[in-house]
Structure 1
Amino acid sequence: MFCGFNTFQPTLKKINVNTLRLFENFPGISNSFKPNVFEDDNYSQWVDKGLFQPRKNGQIYSILLPPPNVTGTLHIGHALTISVQDTMARWNRMCQNEVVWTPGVDHAGIATQVIVEKFLMKQGISRFDIGRTKFVEEVWKWKSDKSKVINLQIKKLGASVDWEREFFTLDKKHRDAVNFALIQLFKKELIYREESLINWSPHLRSVVSDIEVDYIDIDGPTALSLPGYSKPITFGNLIDFSYRIVGSADKEIVVSTTRIETMFGDVAIAVNPNDNRYKPYWGCKFHHPFNGTEIPLVLDHRVDPTFGTGAVKITPAHDPTDFQISKSHSLPKRSVINEEGVLENCGGFSGMLRFDARESICSELANLGLLKHIRPHKMKIPICSRSGDVLEYLIKPQWFIKCKEMAKKAIVAVEERKLIIKPENYQENWFNWLKNIQDWCISRQLWWGHQLPFYYCEGSNDNVWIAAENEEEALKKSKYYVSGPVIAHRDPDVLDTWFSSGILPFACFGWPDKTEQYKKYYPLNTLITGNDILFFWVARMVMLGLELTNQLPFKEVFLHGIICDSQGRKMSKSLGNVIAPEDVINGKSLKELHCTIENSLLSSEEKQKAYTSLRNLYPEGISECGVDALRFTLLSNNIKSQYINFDLKQCIRNKHFCNKIWQACYFANLWLKKMNLTSEFLMLDLCENHQPCTLMEKWILAKLNYSIYVVNEGIKNGDFHLSTSSLRNFIHLELCDIYIEYIKPTLQKGSSAESRSALQTLVYTLVTSLKCMSPFMPFLTEHLYQSLPIKKNGFIMETSYPSYNENFQKTHKELLERVSSILMVINEIRRIKHRIGINHQQVSVCIVEHSIELQNFKDVIETLAKCKINFGTPNIEINSWIEENVSGFTTYFQQDVYKSKVMDRAALSDRRNKLQIKLNKLLDISKNEGYQKNAPLKVKKSHCDQIESLKKEIEKLEVNN
């Protein structure tokens, strides 16, 4: 808050120094910025002081860290989420709110099982070799190792989470909450078991949900490397083969398929009833060449007459559309591929891998004279996002949650703005997905995860499925449904990971118990996460929260973009463009990056691709940047964009910016020591007692005040890039490049009062800037704050966040405009000096037509433009001065500077030639017929202005040469 800046003279109020540390006790600031020296120490001090635990004051701000998977370690995408959440948490604390930020890690069922299986396979061990119990023990060991690394990474990034609340989604407390939730939904008849066609990963031997399926589009024959196959498999062929009419040796119908390997499961042939080509076949039956069965022709509008021959085979057990067609025509379902992706009940082809069987089946069809044609075909291939396997469609009994009614409530919550989704453009996606939602398959045929609390209870003559906490409870409940002695078998399947993480907002506070924590901190204020899990996680949390707690789990959802590399590609280990946060923080050589890939679980082919990508992206390796530069870089992007390109060069620039802040504080400390100021002066409460002495002091404080406004608004609205841009602009350009440069002569030669006032304004501005920067750069700002000799009571995050003073800004509006016009004059003089090559030299300047304003700011212009100003026409011999126009003022620059100090004729000639080349290019563009016809007027005007400016510059250089 700004107060009392109404007069020019400083008013220095003494403070009792016995209550404060003396100047000599301050550690001071070294002259070089080394982030790794102070980062770790700061974090442990914050934790020891309990600063991350909620303070019992202010409004509650409750958030949840999206739990990282224990599959591996954190990448830059995680660093973005943590940086956003930590900035919000620290800002809220400094705004005196009660902050609760809950951390934890996710067991990540499928993903973790896959990665541990790969790890074991490198040792020649299969999970089936060691069995379920031993395999789960191996996964727990993996979890223990990886969660330690993840927590260290979270701490390294400065995340101010409350570690006392840490959870794991497979710990006992969470297991109990999961079981309770499932039993409640079962009681409400929202969970049911049904045979259904599901997405099956033969490699994982588990069902995969629809939103875990990726699709690859191919234009024709394409070889893909798949897990479990020794050589690539070709996709993108359409095979035409014939079925002969029963009782006829020469009449046949030719059908088209991309999946010849499933023909043993064919139960019918289908054509569109509007396709007149096949009317003669209506009512016919056809002979299956391999199993001898007779299959009918059915008419169905879902058949596309333009697909291949227009006639298709119907295999309900292995195709979603065929499954629906079979229901309409009461067709049987014949499964011919098992859980391992192996053909069964297929005669001599049984035991073959599904895709290996293709060539053999086609060969046999050719021998029978039934193979007609193989041609290229565009197609979409379903891929398991977890394993990279091509999915198989199988009919299996699974557990489902009914979602229609829950989805309606989630839609209404957003429509009535009880739940706010930001950015708002994602609301349309929300509505579309929920309006077309399918029931949620929650069972997974895995070994790692929450085993479903569903028991199959067999009685003497009947049986029933019971949801219960344990076998004893299941047997007790079953007596109401079955008679006689009962045997209970627990379903071996585990729960979809997204369910267990879907109840986190309330389970992490003790639900289903109505604890004080639950009552106080649930629902969350906001959920901050990546836009890629809007449906995986966010929608399901909302549906489960409303159903199980009758409350929305959070009031607002903030979705940030997905991190890509500098070329705009999604980060992928196989592309070699995934960066660990510590690689940027500590730096890493190209050789070390190569070693990381070499020790990964990637295939040899993937490793080669990754090596190539690494060499292209980071030919010199990755430079050390520090935590604060990384965080500031991530937050300098518009995180509301769908994708965010991470550019290491920008991170390096922000490291230099950190150094700029460091050097500014070092400069202030240096002058405090040089001027031998007393502790009484140093420890003034600057806000209330300091009165700026000069117009430029008032100006820098007004610019600071405006920056405070922009920063606060940016944080409130999630526009962090506006906040970081404002801070960078203020500190780098206005504070360092203008104000500090301006006060250097004052400090060196000024009166005691002027020097003290200038320095006091600088210290106040620096301290306030550090507070503004603190949520973004916690380590650097804490270290510098502790190093400056000012009044403080603890750590920087315990201070109040600077707030905007509207009255102060109104009072100084005119001053800001005046200084802005003066800075334009300074920049113009600098530009002219640069043009003639005397950037760092003093030059005499005469301003003929001038204003009182220029005279008032004469010292500012002279200091910042490095020139000696005189007002009036120079009274010296002709040609000794060169005329220029500076912001509308006729101005003369001393001629001898041009000739003796700046450039020789060759340099001037070289400069002229470069400008002429630039001019010629613009002239050529402007003469182009297409340009004259199509270029916007704004572009034409801009080019015209540039041409005129270049002509004038060339003309002046010709005069001086």
Structure 2
Amino acid sequence: MYTLCRKCSFCGSDIKTARTLFRINYSMDKATELDQGYVPHKVETLGLGYNYFKPPPKHENKFSLVLPPPNITGTLHLGHALTATVQDVLVRWKQMQGFETSWVPGIDHAGIATQVVVEKRLWKESRQSRHNIGREAFHKKVWEWKEEKAEVIGEQLRRLNVSLDWEREVFTMDEKRSAAVQEAFIKLFEAGLIYRADQLVNWSCVLQSAISDIEVEHLSINGPTDILVPGYETPVKFGILTRFAYKVHERDDEVVVATTRPETIFGDVAIAVHPEDERYSKLVGSYLWHPFRNEKIPVISDSFVDRDFGTGAVKITPGHDHADFDAGKRHSLPVLQVIDESGRLTVSCGQFQGLRRFEARKIVLAELGRLGLLRGSHDHQMILPICSRSKDVIELLARPQWFINCSDMAARALDDVEKGRLTIVPSRFEKTWHGWLENIRDWCISRQLWWGHQIPAYSCQVRNEPEKKVWVAAKNQQEACRKASRQLDAGEDDVIATQDEDVLDTWFSSALQPFSSFGWPEATEDLSKHYPLSMMETGHDILFFWVARMVMLGTQLTGRLPFDKVLLHGVVCDAHGRKMSKSVGNVVAPEDVIRGITLEGMEKISKASFTSGVLTDDELNRAIQGQRKMFPEGIPECGSDALRFTLLSHNIKNHFINFDVNECYTNKLFCNKIWQATKFTRLWFTNVSNEQELSAVQVKDLGLMDKWILSRLTFMVDTVNRGLENFDFYVATTSLKNFLYYEFCDVYLETTKSGLRNAKEPGAVSHCWTLCTSLDTSLRALAPFMPVLSHHLHHHLPEFPGRGKRFDFPQDLDFREEEIERDVEESQRVVVAIRRLKKIFNVTFKHKPSVTILTSSSSMHNYSDAIQDLAGCHSLTVSNESIPAAYSTSVKDVVGVSTIHLQVPEDVLKHLQADLPKMNMKKEKLLKELEKLNEIVSAASYKINVGVERQDGNSKKISTIQEKLTRIEYILDLIQR
């Protein structure tokens, strides 16, 4: 067999040839027996990359998706696996329904993130920065990184067995996407929506670049906290609110203000108070003396001031705070930048110029003390903005940047949701949508990086007339000169055009993905056929940063919404609900679950991250300790199908999704259960049935248990379809597992064994027909979730005479018989009760267990054989008569209208009766232990002060004690009844 990728890894053939060879080989293999058990890597080697359940399109309906492009910063994590699995399930489901589908894969160049990781690697390998090797050589390094990571990401996606249209694969910096980015920028610029201005941006002094809001982490600080800031040898203390005074000019009075950033005092241009604050009303319009700049600054009134916070007077520093910047605009105040791009004080700070910002803090405080202006300090809760890439403390700086005016586009996007043209699932995120777009700021799209789309904007001036300047957007320098010459009223040859060195925010090119993937701005056949997309599915954490921007730019540039539905999923966390982090050691890579990995293998990967500069020495040690604690035995091989099924067994609409490797391994065992059921069906199909008999089977003539399982099959198919329609994948997976694992394997299959042994009886053929029908239908329903296992087993199913194989998705079955379901449900409760009695009293088959059921149920007699088989009884009697005297040594239980009597050996009963005092003592001891544990976990501070693992341990102890108590109470009740 063949492992399929772009090139077949086995034979080197291209994908098309390899698929042909695969089909031929599978055809030859059709008659072979299934292996003894399910081994994931064996099956996946056989079926990787081949879409077995893909019938030809039945109608003109289309279904198109774009996979959110993973960043080339590294490898895929479980969040990517969830996204790919959700979309793959939807695509496969639509394919099986006869839709023509298009699912575009892609990779994002991830400007800042990629530049950071490549710089780290460069420094680790050669102790060089990008500036040491130059822009061209650095670009070459990044492209090498891209090729390396793109190959790994592609292989990871293929291991997940997703049915992406690989021939459509895009990269956000490939030639066609670059052309789309240029066209989009130029159109927006010429529509007056893109402009250049000095505004405040999130600035990373380490990266020397503006960064987007999504790349800013907000660290909550409760009082004095030491934080390690890149470039500083010792930690910097945050969480202190310092008060100091401004003296009123030419008066013996002062105004006290409070700040967490004394170093920004050099940029103070006013003091603001609330208009209705009587404490300061007489000072409004007067001036204060700036202690360092030796100049006057005004006292202004503005309603944005919170008069109950601090002293009620606020220092206004427009160059380094958003609220102050807006206040400065309202009051026509100057903007002083007192901290530069490298985090040092500027020339505006006089003698303090050149000091690093947090070193300047100490010096400023000392100087204020010397001047007698300090008025004390106290602990303060605050939010500290941190660059997620560099861990630097963000500085707000006013720099010349490119912005998109988003107000009109945001208003349209709001209206689209309000009018129902765009649906967001779950609907609770509509509130988030409104919150962001109603308060939207203009989007800063320029980045001071080397990696990314260089902004297609040119600063143009007339030769020998430098005062005549203009910015134009153009595809190249020649076009820029042509456009500028018309605006500057100069000859084209007299214009000098210089392209801006900055690059575009990565989210700009990503926002074009729904239409650039199909060839926009060219009017391609693909674009008219597959755009707009059928829907967009992604994580809720990028609803604004990506989804809203796709909606805004898509509508603006194409005149149409890029999709009319958005499905959002939660963030994947570890089994304890913690965010996955390499430095914590709780990261689970998809391929490690699929193929398994030892603890040593996990540590090796962490050490490789340290070697490449991704982890620090401290983070490496923490990661290894975390791995040893969470995965002492490593991760067992589970296979891609079990991983996919586990991911979708959770409600993806929840805010967080806790992933447990143990649950994944359980689903691997579920796969084996289906495998064994298929082997069983093949075996008896061969031994029992023939074409003529199978063709003659009528549903109305089937046995009760046959009809029951077909009725449950109908219910399962309806539930799965409903779950898929509503994107409640957990509903679908729960129904599939309940049907296949419990109803089909544990119940129905067991009831067929005695009937199948009598091959000449009509019931045996009926069982074979029902087994095959159930498996054929349920494997097709399972196929979108577990494509490889379903493919492999369905391929090995016997074919029905004259009907052949079906590959469509099952729906609208008509086998439902609810009365039979109720009767079987009643009989199953009896089976559970018999099993429970046998277990409690340790009655095994060697005791030849005898059971009598006294019941007023009219249907219980019809299921006596099934009850006997499932309960493992040597003999079973269902009667409406009173209990015979011979049953004096029996124990009983009551289920509904049925009383169950199980004969128990006399020695067992005597032993249990003798143990009654001990059992009562044990019960009292357990009750005291349970009371003590409940007291601990119900304490108000328990969830705050006790670690997650300890909490889990206590929960397990409580469950164990409760289970023991239930068993003791049950025995006591039965014996004393």
TM-score, normalised via structure 2 length: 0.87
Distance 1:588 1:898 in 2: 52
- Tell me the residue number matched to 1:629: 642
Aligned to 1:472: 478
How big is each residue's C-alpha offset from its partner over 1:147-166, in whole Å with a ceiling of 9 and x where there is no partner? 11000000000110000000
- The answer to whether the aligner puts 1:648 opposite 2:661 as a matched pair is yes
Partner of 2:860: 854
Structure-1 residue corresponding to 2:260: 258
CA displacement at 1:117 relative to structure 2: 1.8
Contact 2:413–2:548 at 8 Å: present in 1 too? yes
In structure 1, the residue matched to 2:365 is 362
Q: Residue 935 of structure 1 aligns with which residue?
A: none
| Cα distance in 1 between the residues matched to 2:200 and 2:326 | 10
Partner secondary structure for residue 134 of structure 2 = helix
Whose relative contact order is higher, 1 or 2, with alpha carbons under 8 Å and at least 6 apart? 1
Deviation at 1:82, TM superposition (A): 0.8
Question: Cα distance 1:138–1:951, how it changes in 2: closer, same or farther (>3 A)?
Answer: closer
The one-character-per-residue Cα deviations of 1:27-75 (angstroms, maximum 9, x if unpaired) are 22111221011213312444xx9x8899584411111101001111100
Instruction: Answer yes or no: is 1:458 the counterpart of 2:461.
Output: yes
Given the alignment of the two structures, is residue 540 of structure 1 paired with residue 543 of structure 2, yes or no? no
Higher mean C-alpha displacement, 949-958 vs 404-413:
949-958
Counterpart residue number, 1:349: 352
User: Equivalent residue of 1:577, what SS?
Assistant: coil
Evaluate the alpha carbon distance shift between residue 534 and residue 685 of structure 1 in structure 2; reply closer, same or farther with a 3 A threshold: farther
Matches within 5 A, 1:580-659: 580-600=589-609, 601-659=614-672
Classify the secondary structure of the residue corresponding to 1:302. coil
Compared CA separation, residues 909 and 893, structure 1 to 2 (3 A): farther
Preserved contact between residue 717 and residue 810 of structure 2 (Cα < 8 Å): yes
What one-letter code is carried by the residue in structure 2 that aligns with 1:451?
Answer: Q
Task: Classify the secondary structure of the residue corresponding to 1:524.
Answer: coil
> Which residue does the alignment assign to 1:494?
503
| 1:583 counterpart SS class | helix
Matching residue of 1:6: none
Distance 2:626 2:106 in 1: 33
- Give the root-mean-square deviation of aligned CA atoms: 3.3
Does the Cα contact within 8 Å between 2:270 and 2:316 map onto a contact in 1?
A: yes
Are the structure 2 counterparts of residues 782 and 947 from structure 1 closer, same or farther at C-alpha, using a change threshold of 3 Å?
closer
The residue that corresponds to 1:115 in the other structure is 117
CA distance in 1, matches of 2:930, 2:401: 69
Gaps of 5+ in 2: 1-25, 939-963
CA distance, structure 1, for counterparts of residue 909 and residue 638 of structure 2: 40
- The one-letter code sitting in structure 2 at the alignment partner of 1:843 is P
Cα distance in structure 2, aligned partners of 1:574 and 1:506: 37
**Residues 106-164 of structure 1, C-alpha deviation per residue, up to 9 Å, x if partnerless?**
01111111222222222311122222222222111111111110000000001100000
Range moving further from structure 2, 213-222 or 139-148: 213-222
Aligned pair partner of 1:706 in 700, 704, 715: 715
1:331 aligned residue (333, 353, 362): 333
Q: Is the 8 A contact 1:706 1:804 kept in 2?
A: no
Residue 572 (structure 1) aligned with residue 552 (structure 2) = no
Query: Partner residue of 1:954?
Result: 972
Asked if 1:483 corresponds to 2:486, the answer is no
Query: Per-residue displacement from partner, 1:146-194 (whole Å, max 9, x unpaired)?
Result: 1110000000001100000000000010011111111111121111111
How many residues are treated as equivalent by the alignment? 910
Change (3 A) 1:153 1:849: closer
Q: Contact between 2:55 and 2:98, CA under 8 Å: does it hold in 1?
A: no
Alpha-carbon distance in 1 for matches of 2:440, 2:101 = 35
Q: Within the alignment, does 1:75 sit opposite 2:77 as a pair?
A: yes
Q: 1:470: Cα distance to partner?
A: 0.7
Question: Judging changes above 3 Å, is the alpha-carbon distance between structure 1 residues 692 and 391 closer, same or farther for their aligned structure 2 residues?
Answer: farther
Tell me what 2:871 maps to: 865
Alignment-mate amino acid for residue 815 of structure 1: I
Task: Work out whether residues 838 and 902 of structure 1, in 8 Å CA contact, stay in contact via their aligned partners in 2.
Answer: no
C-alpha spacing 1:690/1:143, structure 2 compared with 1 (3 Å): same
Q: Indicate the SS of the match to 1:616.
A: helix
Q: What SS does the corresponding residue of 1:818 show, helix, strand or coil?
A: helix
| Unaligned ranges ≥5, structure 1 | 1-20, 931-945
Residues of 1 paired with 2:803 and 2:153: CA distance?
A: 29
Structure 2 counterpart of 1:269 = 271
- Give the letter aligned to residue 700 of structure 1: I
1:803 paired residue among 811, 814, 817 = 811
CA–CA separation in structure 2 for the residues paired with 1:923 and 1:879: 39
Q: 1:884 to 1:543 in 2, by over 3 A?
A: closer
- Of the structure 1 ranges 96-105 and 303-312, higher mean CA displacement relative to structure 2 is found in 303-312
- Shift, 1:793, TM fit: 13
Which of 419, 424, 440 aligns to 1:437? It is 440
2:20 counterpart residue number = none
Q: 1:503 aligned to 494, 512, 523, which one?
A: 512
**Aligned equivalents of 1:149, 1:795: Cα separation in 2:** 39
Q: Give yes or no for contact 1:53–1:162 (8 Å, CA) kept in 2.
A: no
Of 392, 395, 407, the match for 2:395: 392
The aligned runs of 1:507-522 (5 Å cut-off) are 507-522=516-531
- Whole-Å Cα distance in 2 between the matches of residues 777 and 390 of structure 1? 45
Q: How far, CA to CA, are the matches of 1:924 and 1:362 in structure 2?
A: 53
Contact persistence 1:316–1:322 (CA under 8 A): yes
- Once the two structures are superposed, the pairs formed by residues 857-896 of structure 1 within 5 Å of their partners are 857-867=863-873, 868-870=875-877, 871=879, 872-873=881-882, 875-877=884-886, 879-895=888-904
Alpha-carbon separation, structure 1, partners of 2:903 and 2:563: 68
The farther-off stretch of 591-600 and 399-408 is 591-600
1:413 aligned residue: 416
* 2:961 equivalent in structure 1: none
CA distance in 2, matches of 1:434, 1:817: 52
Question: Mapping of 1:244-255 within 5 angstroms?
Answer: 244-246=247-249, 252-255=254-257
CA contact (8 A) 1:669 1:788 kept: yes
1:925 CA displacement: 14
Q: How far does the alpha carbon of each residue in 1:448-473 deviate from its partner, in whole angstroms, 9 at most, with x for none? A: 11111111110235111111111111
Distance 1:660 1:911, change over 3 A: farther
CA distance in 1, matches of 2:55, 2:460: 47
Instruction: Look up the match of 2:152.
Output: 149
Greater shift after overlay, 457-466 or 161-170?
A: 457-466
Alpha-carbon contact 1:272-1:302 (below 8 Å) kept: yes
The residue type paired with residue 330 of structure 1 is: S
Q: How much does 1:234 deviate?
A: 1.1
Residues 398-407 or 614-623, more deviating = 614-623
* Match status 1:39 vs 2:52: no
Query: Any residues of structure 2 matched to 1:54-133 within 5 Å, and which?
Result: 57-123=59-125, 124-133=127-136
Q: Does the Cα contact within 8 Å between 2:426 and 2:567 map onto a contact in 1? A: yes
CA distance in 1, matches of 2:273, 2:884: 101
Following TM superposition, by how much is the alpha carbon of 1:827 offset from its aligned partner in structure 2, in angstroms?
2.2
With over 3 angstroms needed to count, the CA separation of the structure-2 counterparts of 1:361 and 1:656, relative to structure 1, is: same
For residues 17-32 of structure 1, what are the structure 2 equivalents within 5 Å? 26-32=31-37
Letter of the 1:59 counterpart: N
Q: Tell me the residue number matched to 2:304.
A: 302
Q: Distance in 1 between matches of 2:559 and 2:852?
A: 77
Is 2:836 aligned against 1:831?
yes
Shift of 1:383: 2.0
* Aligned match for 1:231, one of 227, 230, 234: 234
- For 1:909 and 1:748, locate their aligned partners in 2 and report how far apart those are by CA, in whole Å: 49
884-893 vs 588-597, which moves further: 884-893
Decide whether aligned partners of structure 1 residues 56 and 753 sit closer, same or farther in structure 2, where only a CA change above 3 A counts.
closer
Identity of aligned residues (%): 45
Say which of 170, 193, 203 aligns to 2:206.
203
For the residue of structure 2 that corresponds to 1:452, the secondary structure is coil
Indicate how the Cα distance of structure 1 residues 569 and 924 shifts in structure 2: closer, same or farther if over 3 A, else same.
closer
Letter of the 2:333 partner, please give it: L
The 1:492/1:697 distance shift into structure 2, 3 A limit, reads same
One-letter code of the match for 1:458? Q
Cα offsets for 1:762-817 (capped at 9, x unmatched): 12212222111111011111122223333699998x811111224x32xx222222
SS in 2 for 1:305: coil
Offset of 1:89 from its aligned partner? 0.9
Shift of 1:898: 5.2
User: Contact 2:837–2:902 (CA<8 Å) still a contact in 1?
Assistant: no
Query: 2:384 — aligned with what?
Result: 381
Look up the match of 1:667: 680
